[in-house]
Amino acid sequence: MSVKKEYSAKRKRFINNTIVHVILAILAIIWVFPIFWVILTSFRAEKGSYVSTFFPQSYTLDNYIRLFTDTSILNFPQMFMNTLFVAICSCILSSFYVLAVSYCLSRLRFKMRKPYMNMAMILGLFPGFMSMIAVYFILKALGLTEGNLIRLALILCYSGSAGLGFQIAKGFFDTIPLAVDEAALIDGCSRWQIFSKITLPLSKPIIIYTVLTAFMAPWVDFIFARVICRANADQYTVAIGLWRMLEKEYIDSWYTSFAAGAVLISIPIAILFLSLQKYYVDGLSGAVKG
Amino acid sequence: MKIFKKYATEFPTPYTCMNAIREGGLETKLTMVLMGLGNFVHKQKIKGLLFLAIEVAYIVFMAVVGIGCLSQLGSLGSVPQQEVWDEAQQVYLYTKGDQSILILLYGIAVILLTVFMVCAWRCSLKSAYKAECLEKSGKHVNTFLEDLKTLTHENLHRLLMTPPMIFIFAFTVLPLIFMICMAFTNYSIIDNHLMLFDWVGLDNFVALFDSSSILGSTFWSVLGWTLVWAFFATFTNYIFGMILSILINRKDTKAKGFWRFCFVLSCAVPMFVSLLIMRTMLQPDGAVNVLLRNLGLIAQDASLPFFTDPTWARVTVIVVNIWVGVPYTLLQLTGVLQNIPAELYEAAKVDGANPIQTFFKITLPYMLYVTTPYLIVTFTGNVNNFNVIYLLSGGDPVTNLSSTAGSTDLLVTWLYKLTVDKQYYNVGAVIGIFTFIILAVGALFTYHRSKSYKEEGGF
């Protein structure tokens, strides 16, 4: 009797396991399917936006080659360099801001500390691009919306509110024992030395996280870039370029190249994201664990 | 006021402005008029001169441009651009009229500068009083170099916080005040108020609340959809992500890492790329319809109206949002789920509960209790979720041609359309303020309940 019962329990478990695995497999296919499809499309030889078959009839590398050689209408290499330049500059500036502000809020006690944190919270509640038009007018008043200065405008724009995104880095600094700071103070270190010689070397993960999130922002933002660049096609970033490839006048000839471009910029970002997943999770779950 | 008192008691210092005015010597009192005098007298020559330079610069600035900007702020300019026939050159010349938008911008900038000036003035007063007190009691008065040196130690926060603060004020606070002011003007393409506009008080708010007008009815329907969207987007992701996480992390599931990788892969692709891909796939002739036709599930010339039928479109954006959002939820909730005490599950098993009962009686209540702040943050995030809607459906389909919003437009995408495409800047600003109010209510709720509020006390 007990053997039979055990047998049926085992069988039930087997059925359950099979069901779970089948469900997971179906879901995984649904989730990977669009990515798979865009990779397929990027190698598709047939032109045109929509084709009547799901799998391409023949495969080619032309879409990738065209992206880098056909620069007459949509200059992808130029956009790539623009974005790279803006990304590097804004990354340096905003990482410094984020780390400096987080360190101050975590370690130093001063009168403006709590008002500052409250202000950051309130400012964070406004829809970010509500002020976009106003930012454009300010940049225009400063004369930064013409020619190459647009790049400077974009850099200012992306690092402008960096000082408000301190929560994750502050949470990390909070976990470094205060005793380390106190020991250094007794040894005669100044606060600046503690920051640059002790805290920063101890916080490599969060520095990597901050630098990379700041670096990625210009690659994926297209709202601000579009408002600031307007018609200056030579200053476009990759995001606007990809968006334009899907506009009515370009979609027919550029569709497969859009897929190629999407794959190209996704690869580095995907690698970064997958390797930094842990920090991302740690940074976010800090707030939940409380 | 209470808050300020709290701060004052946390950092007690005898060198306040009130004390300086009440007990300071003659030179300190004169500092009120001539900034830096107190420091100059008390061995801090460079510091005193710097304060003086600030004051002179401010006065010169105000005299040259500042006063002019402020005086126009009330009327926002009145000279329209005019065509003048130039007899000599035989062409029409355009005289430069007033541009209200610049007048408003400069006016606000001048006001902000004045606020900073008041701060500098208070600083100079305090520092003069401090120098006086120190010298009177025979203590050492810092030289300018020593003052600079404190920036790397006691006053490190000033060194590190000032540059970010300048950026925040220039690119976040100033634009925000500017936009809020716009809500009280008639700056829009209606009646051609793009160059010259006036203050209209609360008219825009009234117009938006008037549900008999087109604008008003659009507002209410968009607001309703925004709340519905935020609710469904939050909870579908939350529950679905939780179930997925439980399925993957079951004891008996094989190849956990592989499954997780499959799902996380989609959030490694930049969001705007994956959304654009989804959009093209769901077009009438897109990949999904082609696949369904090839499989024979729908007729050869038929296509499912993913973005052309209002109800379909609304369901589609919510479903696609599940696709986009669940991997993130998976990443964020896995840790919390594993913190649920195992005894609870064991007890349930002994009592003979099935998995569905366990989920609804143990997992869900526990998770709701622990992650309320997370949920509210996600909810407010979804109210503000510009990317998903704008890149996916663009707010389409537009059912009512006279209204400016489509059936899937959220408040934020509507705001974007109104300002960028339609140039109804004033209405856009009002909508922005409403979005802020909705979010602020949500956030107040969160932060007062969250643990970090109780522990920090500052949020």
How many Å apart are CA B228 and CA B234, to the nearest integer? 10
How many Å lie between the alpha carbon of A87 and the closest alpha carbon of chain B? 15
Together in a domain, B45 and B115: yes
To probe the interface with B, which of A111, A126, A139, A251 has the most B CB atoms within 10 Å? A126
Q: Is-contact B340 B245, C-beta < 8 A?
A: no
Residues from chain A that touch B416, judged by Cβ atoms under 8 A, are 129, 223
- Is there a contact between A220 and B168 if contact means CB atoms under 8 Å apart? no
Q: Is residue B198 part of a domain?
A: no
Looking at residue A92, its pLDDT comes to 93
Burial class (CB in 10 A: 0-12, 13-18, 19+), B18: exposed
Residue written as token pair 């050159």: B89
pLDDT in tens, A26-59: 999 988 888 888 888 888 888 777 777 777 888 8
- As a whole number, the mean pLDDT across chain A is 83
Q: Which two tokens stand for residue A144?
A: 């930064």
Together in a domain, B145 and B216: no
Mean pLDDT across B52-73: 89
DSSP string, B104-124: HHHHHHHHHHHHHHHHHHHHH
Distance, first Cα to last Cα, chain B? 17
DSSP string, B313-343: HHHHHHHHHHHHHHHHHHHHHHHHHHTS-HH
- Is there a contact between A127 and B436 if contact means CB atoms under 8 Å apart? yes
- 3-state class percentages of chain A: helix first, strand second, coil last, to nearest 5: 80, 0, 20
Q: Is B99 on the interface with A (CB under 8 A)?
A: no
Q: Is residue B384 part of a domain?
A: yes
Q: Is residue B116 part of a domain?
A: yes
Q: Is the backbone peptide bond immediately before B397 cis, with ω within 30 degrees of 0?
A: yes
**Closest Cα in chain A to B355:** A16
Q: Is B425 on the interface with A (CB under 8 A)?
A: yes
3 state DSSP class of B252? coil
Q: Is B265 on the interface with A (CB under 8 A)?
A: yes
Of A273-277, B205-209, B316-320, B447-451, the least confident: B447-451
Q: Is residue B180 part of a domain?
A: no
Q: Is residue B21 part of a domain?
A: yes
Together in a domain, B228 and B137: no
Q: H or E segment at B405? A: none
Mean pLDDT across B390-418: 81
Residues from chain A that touch B10, judged by Cβ atoms under 8 A, are 111
Mean pLDDT across A119-126: 81
- As a whole number, the mean pLDDT across chain B is 82
Count up the domains in chain B and report the number.
2
Together in a domain, B117 and B212: no
Residues from chain A that touch B424, judged by Cβ atoms under 8 A, are none
How many Å apart are CA B131 and CA B153, to the nearest integer? 20
- Is there a contact between B176 and A123 if contact means CB atoms under 8 Å apart? yes
Q: Is residue B436 part of a domain?
A: yes
What's the alpha-carbon Rg for chain B, to the nearest Å? 31
Residues from chain A that touch B182, judged by Cβ atoms under 8 A, are 134
Please report, for residues A118, A178, B105, B283, B404, the alpha-carbon distance to residue B314 in angstroms, rounded to integers and kept in the order given: 36, 51, 39, 15, 17
Q: Is B252 on the interface with A (CB under 8 A)?
A: yes
Looking at residue A3, its pLDDT comes to 67
pLDDT in tens, B337-360: 877 888 888 888 888 888 888 888
Residue written as token pair 């696949």: B291
Mean pLDDT across B382-411: 81
Q: H or E segment at B1? A: none
Q: Answer with the one of B150, B179, B214 that is the final residue of a domain.
A: B150
pLDDT in tens, B245-286: 888 888 778 888 888 888 888 877 888 888 888 888 888 888
Mean pLDDT across A57-74: 83
Q: Is B180 on the interface with A (CB under 8 A)?
A: no
Residues in B 327-356 with any Cβ partner in A closer than 8 A: 327, 331-332, 334-336, 339
Q: Is B273 on the interface with A (CB under 8 A)?
A: yes
Residues from chain A that touch B327, judged by Cβ atoms under 8 A, are 31
Q: Is B176 on the interface with A (CB under 8 A)?
A: yes
Together in a domain, B95 and B235: no
- CATH class (in words) of the domain with range A68-289: mainly alpha
- Is there a contact between A50 and B283 if contact means CB atoms under 8 Å apart? yes
Q: Residue B289 sits in a domain of what CATH number?
A: 1.10.3720.10
How many Å lie between the alpha carbon of B262 and the closest alpha carbon of chain A? 6
Greatest CA separation for chain A = 88
Q: Is B263 on the interface with A (CB under 8 A)?
A: yes
Together in a domain, B86 and B231: no
Together in a domain, B390 and B270: yes
Looking at residue A166, its pLDDT comes to 83
Of A101, A222, A259, the CB nearest to B164: A101
Confidence of residue B457 (pLDDT cuts 50, 70, 90): very low
Q: Is the pLDDT of residue B28 over 50?
A: yes
**Closest Cα in chain B to A275:** B268
- Is there a contact between B331 and A277 if contact means CB atoms under 8 Å apart? yes
Q: Among residues A168, A170, A158, which one has the least CA distance to residue A113?
A: A170
- Is there a contact between B269 and A35 if contact means CB atoms under 8 Å apart? yes
Please report, for residues A19, A20, B256, B264, the alpha-carbon distance to residue B252 in angstroms, rounded to integers and kept in the order given: 12, 9, 10, 21
Of A24, A97, A135, the CB nearest to B164: A97
Residues from chain B that touch A30, judged by Cβ atoms under 8 A, are 323
Of B276, B291, B332, the CB nearest to A54: B291
Of A12-26, A138-152, A179-193, B92-106, the least confident: B92-106
Q: Tell me the Ramachandran region of residue B424: left when phi exceeds 0, alpha when psi lies from -120 to 50, beta otherwise.
A: beta
Q: Is B34 on the interface with A (CB under 8 A)?
A: no
Together in a domain, B235 and B124: no
Mapping DSSP onto H, E and C, the string for A34-73 reads: HHHHHHHHHCECCCCCCCCCCCCCCECCHHHHHHHHCCCC
Residues from chain A that touch B162, judged by Cβ atoms under 8 A, are none
Together in a domain, B37 and B112: yes
Confidence of residue B446 (pLDDT cuts 50, 70, 90): low
A–B interface: beta-carbon pairs under 8 A:
277
- Write down the ipTM of this complex: 0.81
Number of helices (H) and strands (E), helices first, in chain B?
24, 2
Confidence of residue B10 (pLDDT cuts 50, 70, 90): low
Of A155-159, B59-63, B338-342, B398-402, the least confident: B398-402
Q: Is-contact B80 B196, C-beta < 8 A?
A: yes
Of B161, B290, B336, the CB nearest to A288: B336
How many Å apart are CA A236 and CA A256, to the nearest integer? 20
Residue written as token pair 């879901």: A27
- Is there a contact between A113 and B332 if contact means CB atoms under 8 Å apart? no
Q: Is residue B426 part of a domain?
A: yes
- Is there a contact between A54 and B327 if contact means CB atoms under 8 Å apart? no
CB atoms within 10 A of CB B187: 28
Q: Is residue B367 part of a domain?
A: yes
Together in a domain, B316 and B435: yes
Number of helices (H) and strands (E), helices first, in chain A?
14, 0
How many Å apart are CA A157 and CA A154, to the nearest integer? 5
Together in a domain, B276 and B423: yes
The top-scoring range by mean pLDDT among A197-201, B296-300, B381-385 is A197-201
Confidence of residue A285 (pLDDT cuts 50, 70, 90): very low
Together in a domain, B317 and B392: yes
Burial class (CB in 10 A: 0-12, 13-18, 19+), B28: buried
Name the residue range of residue B34's domain.
2-150
Looking at residue A56, its pLDDT comes to 80
Q: Is the pLDDT of residue B419 over 50?
A: yes
